[in-house]
């Protein structure tokens, strides 16, 4: 399930490139049942992998990195 959610987050981020955390959450929530806590945990993992980066000095807006784009294509 965790991998499915990760793929879904990356799919949304590929489409948007830059997005607020809760916009992504709302999009994911439409198709999958996921708690905010679980979503944030997965999001933090993607940031640690450098697939996403926090921008504008905020922890609520994220951008897809080139590494994230490449890595998500491999999966």
DSSP 54: E
Tokens found for residue 60: 């609520």
Written as six digits, the tokens of 30 are 């439409």
Answer for the pair 55, 63: CB distance below 8 angstroms, yes or no: yes
**What mean pLDDT do residues 52-72 have?**
83
What are the sequence ranges of the domains in the chain? 2-70
- The phi and psi torsions of 68 (rounded to 5 degrees) equal -60, -40
Quote the pLDDT of residue 25.
93
Is residue 57's pLDDT more than 70?
no
Query: Is this structure's pTM higher than 0.85?
Result: no
User: What is the enclosing helix (H) or strand (E) of 63?
Assistant: strand 61-64
- In tens, the pLDDT along 2-45 reads 888 888 999 989 888 899 899 999 999 888 888 999 999 999 99
Q: What is the CATH number of domain 2-70?
A: 1.10.10.10
Calculate mean pLDDT across residues 55-66.
Answer: 80
């Amino acid at each position: 399930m965790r991998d499915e959610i990760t793929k879904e987050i990356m799919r949304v981020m590929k489409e948007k490139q830059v997005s607020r955390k809760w916009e992504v959450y709302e999009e994911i929530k439409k198709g999958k049942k996921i708690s905010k806590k679980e979503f944030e945990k997965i999001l933090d993992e993607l940031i640690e992998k450098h697939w996403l980066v926090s921008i504008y000095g905020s922890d609520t807006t994220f951008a897809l990195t080139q590494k994230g784009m490449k890595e998500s294509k491999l999966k």
